[in-house]
Chain A
Amino acid sequence: MNVSLPKNINFNFSSQPKSFRNPMVEVFLLLAACGLFYWFIIMPKTVEIAKQNEVLAQVTAEKAKITETVEALKEMVKNLSVNEKEIANLDEAMPLEAKALRLRMLLESLSQSVGLLVNNVNVTYGGDAPWAGSKEILAHPYSVPRSVQRLSGTVSVIGTYDQVVALIQKIEKSGRVININSVSMDSAEDGNLNIALALDAFYLGPNTTAKK
């Protein structure tokens, strides 16, 4: 049996849902979603994280520096009690008080040790701090602001050239740092010389006017 169908046949499958899925549209929408998501969400976040990492690197470096400083400080505190002799030498070279009378005694003693006749030794103290008995300094000797201060002195002695050179050598090598500013020698009676030295010594004294 032959069946001939007309060209305008309509099967009328109206119950079957019509699909709107177009793969090309999907591709376009997904591509747009990916691009927008990356541009407006991921990129700002990446920049933010880069900045955070920068800050983290800075604080980490600062932490390392502080840790190193604290460790060094601990080591120095430990060394304070170990190196008592070196600290005593340091205190002799650059005392924390003027000790003008001790400087005068030292100069007299050095002059006499080389056989010079001491005519006069003079040490001038012009610091602000009291010579002794400052309760503030005694209570907190390391808390008061300090600065390098100068003690000026003159030494007038009589002796031979060799004695003078020996005295100058002793002053140069003295534990207390003393700078000779001028030397004056004039011939005196009995073949001796009148010698005058002008010198400066230094100390790390409390400075009432300085701010810590």
Chain B
Amino acid sequence: MTQINLLKQTAPTTNLWAIIPKILARFFLVVLIALVAYYAWLIINSKKIAKDIITTQIEINDGKKEGLHMDKREEVLVRQQQLQAVNDTLTKHLYWTQLFSELARVTLKNANYSSIRVGTDGVVTLTGNVPTIADLDKYLQVFDLSAFNKNFSDIRIGGYNKVQNKDSGSKVSFDLMMKFNPAVIQYKPETK
């Protein structure tokens, strides 16, 4: 006998095209719920970050106040300025004794100076004497050698003349001008 089932079907359908949309619908519902939850987390996180920013700014202001009102702060600043000034000055400090020892090294042994003028313009002006004209020539030739013209250069004779002296006999007096290497009067750690 043929039976007609008019009741609603409860058994799962086996039609794939009918199941997929339902699964997708549930999936997107879950995604939507997850997005809402993520948004809620974002709001909480945003408030936490805003609070952290305010707290940090307060700490910054407190730190600034602490630094500004620290006892002896002004003295520290002056001492720092003082130390900086000393260091700056020392880097420009000049050591003239180094020039004199170098000048002695390059000077002919039988030459004598009666006048020396040196300044920060890098020029040495000398008045001296040697026994003979030949000695003056030797004196000048020394500066053509690289070992002797490292720190002194551009030697110019202003004038020279033979002078007769009762006690010491004849001498050749000369005026001389030359440039010196500014590095020679600067600080040299190995010499100190």
A134 CB-CB contact with B under 8 Å: no
Bound Cα distance A50, B24 (Å): 32
Closest to B22 in A: A23
Size bracket, chain A contacts: 35 or more
Partner of A23 from the list B25, B32, B57, B89 (CB cut-off 8 Å) is B25
Query: CB-nearest residue of chain A relative to B20?
Result: A23
Which B residues touch A38, using CB under 8 A?
35
List the B side residues contacting A63 at CB < 8 Å: 56, 59-60, 63
Q: In chain B between 101 and 122, which residues have their CB closer than 8 angstroms to a CB of chain A?
A: 113-120
Most chain B CB inside 10 Å of its own CB: which residue of A31, A41, A93, A94:
A94
- Chain A neighbourhood of B162, CB < 8 A: none
Given A63-B59, A177-B86, A73 contacting B67 (CB threshold 8 A): yes
A56 near B: Cβ within 8 Å? yes
Please pick, from B43, B76, B90, the residue contacting A80 in the complex, using a CB distance under 8 A. B76
Q: How far is the CB of A152 from chain B (nearest CB, A)?
A: 13
Task: Indicate if the CB atoms of A66 and B71 lie closer than 8 Å.
Answer: no
Docked-complex contact A49 and B46, CB < 8 angstroms: yes
A202 near B78 (CB under 8 angstroms)? Answer: no
Asked if B64 is at the interface of the complex by the 8 Å CB criterion, the answer is yes
With a cutoff of 8 Å between Cβ atoms, the chain B residues found around residue A179 in the complex are 89, 92-94
Q: Which of A66, A142, A172 lies in contact with B95, CB distance below 8 A?
A: A172
Q: How far is the CA of A26 from the CA of B74 in the complex (A)?
A: 73
Q: Which of B47-55, B138-146, B147-155, B163-171 contacts A (4 or more CB under 8 A)?
A: B47-55
Cβ A93 vs Cβ B86 within 8 A: yes
**Would A73 and B119 count as touching, CB distance under 8 A?**
no
Residues 59-88 of chain B: 1 if any A CB is under 8 Å from the residue's CB, otherwise 0? 110011011001111111111111101101
Interchain CB contact under 8 A, A94 and B21: no
A87 interfacial by beta-carbon distance below 8 Å:
yes
Which residues in A have their C-beta under 8 angstroms from that of B118?
Answer: 182-184
Nearest A residue to B8 via CB reads A16
A146 x B45 contact (CB < 8 A): no
A to B contact number (C-beta, < 8 Å): 169
Known: A34-B31, A73-B73. A90 touches B117 (CB 8 A): no
Per-residue CB contact flags for chain A residues 123-167 toward chain B (1 = under 8 Å, else 0) read 000000000000000001011001010000000000000000100
A185 at the interface (CB under 8 A from B): yes
A120 within 8 A of B: no
Q: Once the chains bind, are A37 and B36 in contact (CB under 8 Å)?
A: yes
The answer to whether residues A70 and B85 also contact, given A37-B35, A55-B53 and a CB cut-off of 8 A, is no
Contact A202 B29 (CB under 8 A): no
Q: Is B73 a contact of A26 with CB atoms below 8 Å?
A: no
Q: Does A181 contact B (CB under 8 A)?
A: yes
Partner of B73, one of A62, A77, A183: A77
Residues of A contacting B53 in the complex (Cβ-Cβ under 8 angstroms): 52, 55-56, 59
Q: Which of B1-41 contact A (CB under 8 A)?
A: 6, 18, 21-22, 24-25, 28-29, 31-32, 35-36, 38-39
A-B contact pairs, 28 of them (CB 8 A): A26-B21, A26-B25, A30-B25, A30-B28, A34-B31, A41-B39, A42-B35, A42-B42, A45-B39, A49-B46, A52-B49, A59-B53, A59-B56, A60-B56, A62-B60, A63-B59, A63-B63, A74-B70, A77-B73, A80-B72, A96-B82, A142-B75, A143-B74, A148-B88, A169-B97, A183-B116, A185-B117, A204-B81
A interface with B by C-beta (< 8 Å): 11, 23-24, 26-27, 30-31, 33-34, 37-38, 41-42, 45-46, 48-49, 52-53, 55-56, 59-60, 62-63, 66-67, 69-70, 73-74, 76-77, 80, 87, 90-91, 93-94, 96, 140, 142-143, 146, 148, 165, 168-169, 172, 177, 179-187, 198, 202, 204
